[in-house]
Homo-oligomer: A and B are copies of this chain.
Amino acid sequence: MDNTDIYKKSLDLHKKYHGKLETKSKVKLDSKESLSLAYSPGVAEISREIARDPSLAREYTLKRNTVAIISDGSAILGLGNLGALAAIPVMEGKAAIFKEFGGVDAFPICLDTQDTEEIIKTVKHLSPVFGGINLEDISAPRCFEIEERLRKELSIPVMHDDQWGAATVILAGLINALKLTKKTKENIQVVISGVGAAGVATARLLIIYGITNIIFCDSKGIIHTGRADLTSEKKELLKLSTLIAYEGTLQDAIKHSDVFIGLSKPNILTTDMVKSMSDQPIIFALANPTPEIMPEKAKEAGAYIVATGRSDYPNQVNNSLVFPGAFKGMLEANIPQFKIKMFSRIAEEIANSVKDLSTEKIIPTMWDKGIVELVSKTIQEFKS
């Protein structure tokens, strides 16, 4: 099925159902008595109890199992800044995945502001009803401050999925790629092309895991201390990498590297670049929908393993492997906040779950049984 056909079918589907998410009562309201328990006068007692002990909101309300999916529409998929209304179908789809795969109730909130302070304030104001906050499709570098501030200022878990979902699955795939190539995390050299939300988080996660020889590239080439245009995140990453970076292009960076992780733009990786890599090149070409290099081309040029963001090729880097289980675990165990260590543990467990490991399967799919439970259980180890 090519995308034109998918797009047409998708329009039909969305038109038919007017979106994908609905709300539903968990209790029957079919008699005077049932109404008097679920609503007035019975509900007054629930309100009084929660006012007496706010922790009871977790026992008596939807807060226990409900996540807000928050976007300002500034970085929708690979489409850019299309605004709040255009973000709704994506967030609604994500909410549907939360429920269908993780059993987690989720509701899309698309904000009509792209001001960092307004977003932070709004999320704090609307947070009481939720047990967790999934930030989504918010452009870098604002996404870093928003996530960090909300983690500090809220008492419920906050995760920017474009960062940690992607980073976790990439690390899982990389762990398995290293097994297949018999290379070690200490010795490989990695190029990360694209240092937005996902690129920064991937770098942070790789470093925590022990993969520290990393060269970073953005649209202007290699990131090095001599450049005057670096954000605080880029400066921080340079300090954390054990490689010293010099001026140069992606072409210079990739020479003799073992791993390419692209979170950047279509078709920027050439066959010559792949050929210039170390033996058994590992390619994560994750630009969507058109990767940095198409898998066939990469393979022809000698790539040993290729992963993309697409479901129509092997080794799909799919955030949906992580977020339903991650929030499920946090909510079930009532863990107050995400920590980066959790994501590297989840990546290890996801990697180990692949039993039929091969160059065509370094990452499980959403249809492999038990993934959500595995992720949920792994994160619950962090309950203090």
Question: Does any Cβ of B come within 8 Å of A140's Cβ?
Answer: no
* Contact size range, A: 35 or more
Least Cβ–Cβ distance between A120 and chain B, in angstroms: 11
Question: Does any Cβ of B come within 8 Å of A128's Cβ?
Answer: yes
The residue from B1, B50, B79 contacting A88, defined by CB atoms under 8 A apart: B50
A366: B residues at CB distance < 8 A: 35
Check A61/B39 contact, CB under 8 A, given A101-B29, A111-B125. Answer: no
A320 to B13, CA, bound (A): 33
Question: Does any Cβ of B come within 8 Å of A208's Cβ?
Answer: no
User: Of all chain B residues, which has the CB nearest A15?
Assistant: B59
Question: Does any Cβ of B come within 8 Å of A179's Cβ?
Answer: no
One digit per residue, 1 when the CB lies within 8 angstroms of any chain B CB and 0 when it does not, for chain A 183-220 equals: 00000000000000000000000000000000000000
User: Of all chain B residues, which has the CB nearest A89?
Assistant: B46
User: Of all chain B residues, which has the CB nearest A8?
Assistant: B45
A127: B residues at CB distance < 8 A: 112
Report whether B26 and A20 are in contact in the complex, using a CB–CB cutoff of 8 Å: yes
A77 to B122, CA, bound (A): 25
Q: List 6 A-B contacts (CB under 8 A).
A: A13-B37, A43-B93, A57-B88, A84-B128, A110-B129, A122-B122
What 7 pairs between A and B have smallest CB-CB spacing? A10-B42, A25-B96, A7-B45, A19-B62, A84-B128, A39-B93, A51-B82
